[in-house]
Amino acid sequence: MKDRRMTASPETRPDLRMERHFGDRVVACYTQRPRNLDAMLAEAVAGQPETLALVDGETRLSYAALDEEVGRIAAGLAARGVAAGDRVALLLGNGAPFVVMTFAVARLGAASVPLSTREQMPGIRHALVNSEARLIVAEAELAGIVPPAEEVPHLRNRVSIGAADGFEPYAALRADTAHTTPADVDEEAIASILYTSGTTGVPKGAMLTGLGIIHSATSFVHKMGLGPQDKTIVTVPMNHVTGLVACIHAAIRAAGTIVAMRVFKAPRFLELASQERMTFSVMVPAMYNLCLHQADLSDFDLSAWRLGGFGGAPMPAATIERLAAALPGLGLMNVYGATEVSSPATFMPTDQIAARRLSVGQPAPGAEIRVMDDAGREVPAGEAGELWIRGAMVVPGYWRNPEADAREFVAGFWKSGDIGSIDAEGYVHVFDRKKDMINRGGHKIYTAQVESALCAVAGVLEAAVVAKPCPILGERVHAVVSVKPEGVTEDALRAHCAAQLSDYQCPESYTLTEAPLPRNANGKIMKREISQSL
């Protein structure tokens, strides 16, 4: 039997070395890496100036043209006072402006704060106030959910894609000359703040650094064999860690091509994949399922599609089999990760995907994964415990949230909240979620946040939100709500949640009752019993 510590610890590779970062962390890092995100883009521009970098509808930019556009927008931001260390919020859907803004902000040494376009004003307000963003770029149709000036005093500039009252047009950001002198940004500096909900229901700002993002992007390039010849269609939200790191930054690290897709529709995705000769994808399993259910793959020329990465949820065996039959040249790769690990913590080799379907793969280069019990002791190989993850890709903590840092980080390890195991061959298995979470087609929903919104409705006594199985999305959101005798209508609950939560967080079905919810001897609601009764 192999020593589990050897298989679960950082890989011994000539291009990795142990380095000290973030104070007292000693982690395995790639020896050859750009110093920061702007330097990563500069490497791609220098090596592949005429290679197609970005496609968004009719917009097609080479790396040289992308660099020029980034420089002009960076100059416009600088003219509005954005400087190193500032935060710039992005309330943008998938498209060229998101990519350009990401690197324009990086060129100035500021940090981007990507916000979900499916969020509502309370969530937007929290992120803007907490991050103290000084400028926001938003889609015109989303301008109405940006809080008024008196609620976000640090927000000095508002810019919109399209016309919106009180917002400066995005085109005005484009300066006549490009900002070509990048800020001297240390790789440990914060590059992006991504807000991720916790078990308390209060979103926390995970601080992604240049070091972590570049390490993860390099791992994607290495594990997927990416290069300038590769193209990806970004179907997942660019404002999510997968879209940001696994798609945008991985493609730039490879000097490959990013094709933006604003809304995923399976037939249109397959048509675009054929037209653009897409070579690799990173999507949630539900998207692959929709491709199989909503279209005949033989109607499209998908011969260039060689690799399909997936994560966020298990891939059903039937889906793997149907994809193998329809696209024998497509290799599937399971990738397990999280915002706090800057995307990937594990990769499953493509030749093992069918045989090890229940595993999420082996630790990513430089990742150290341990399985710990509640007392903080490592458990034997094959036994279940909480997955703790350490490495250069792990964020240094949460933005201005020392309580969460103390709770979720130990000696450089991030306590994932996922229950799993590592077998004798070093393959990681994820069994369940220690944190009370629903996984709806790759969107992670913390039930405490939804329950908090429900309990704010007059007449609601208590609420329990549980997962309802779904053959396409994996899980859907179901709410069991105990109400006062005078009653609360389902329509009222739906309207309230729609105004307070992202659309994917809103319960899709309800059970209303005047009876108390079942509790155990300790007073905790027994969600397992509730789920079994559905």
Q: Where in the chain is the domain with CATH 3.40.50.12780?
A: 33-51+58-256
For residues 258 and 53, the answer to whether their CB atoms sit within 8 Å is yes
Q: What is the 3-state secondary structure (H, E, C) of 425-444?
A: CCCEEEEEECCCEEEECCEE
**Helices 210-224 & 37-47, crossing angle to 10 degrees?**
40
Q: Whole-angstrom Cα distance, residue 195 to residue 206?
A: 6
Q: Where in the chain is the domain with CATH 3.40.50.980?
A: 264-358
* Cα-based distances in Å from 241 to 250, 320, 327: 12, 24, 28
Q: Whole-angstrom Cα distance, residue 527 to residue 534?
A: 11
**H or E segment at 178?**
none
Distance of CA 124 to the CA centre of its chain: 17
Total length of the chain: 534
pLDDT of residue 11: 39
Q: Whole-angstrom Cα distance, residue 361 to residue 376?
A: 24
For residues 16 and 367, the answer to whether their CB atoms sit within 8 Å is no
* Cα-based distances in Å from 23 to 65, 180, 216, 414: 39, 32, 20, 16
Distance of CA 246 to the CA centre of its chain: 8
CATH architecture of 437-533: 2-Layer Sandwich (3.30)
pLDDT of residue 180: 86
Residues near 325 by beta carbon (within 8 Å), at least 6 away in sequence: none
pLDDT of residue 219: 98
pLDDT of residue 526: 82
Q: Where in the chain is the domain with CATH 3.30.300.30?
A: 437-533
Is the whole-model pTM more than 0.85? yes
pLDDT of residue 313: 66
For residues 337 and 346, the answer to whether their CB atoms sit within 8 Å is yes
Q: What is the mean pLDDT of each run of 10 residues along the chain (534 residues)?
A: 34 76 97 98 98 98 98 98 98 98 98 95 96 98 98 98 97 95 97 78 91 98 97 96 97 98 96 98 91 94 97 78 94 95 96 89 97 96 95 98 96 93 94 77 83 87 91 94 89 95 95 87 71 84
- Outline where 435-526 has alpha helix (H): 447-455, 490-500
Q: Where in the chain is the domain with CATH 2.30.38.10?
A: 1-15+366-432
Three-state DSSP at 255 gives: coil
The single residue listed with the structure tokens 């539900």 is 286
Q: What backbone torsions phi and psi does residue 43 show, to the nearest 5 degrees?
A: -60, -45
Q: Of 278, 287, 273, 272, nearest to 251 (Cα)?
A: 278
Q: What backbone torsions phi and psi does residue 445 show, to the nearest 5 degrees?
A: -120, 120
Q: Strand 135-139 relative to strand 409-410: parallel, antiparallel, unpaired?
A: unpaired
CATH (one of 3.40.50.12780, 1.10.3720.10, 3.90.1210.10, 3.30.565.10) for 33-51+58-256: 3.40.50.12780
Give one DSSP letter per residue of 320-349, joined into a string.
HHHHHHH-TTPEEEEEEEEGGGTEEEEE--
Topology, domain 1-15+366-432: Luciferase; domain 3 (2.30.38)
| DSSP state letter for 97 | H
264-358 belongs to which CATH class? Answer: alpha beta
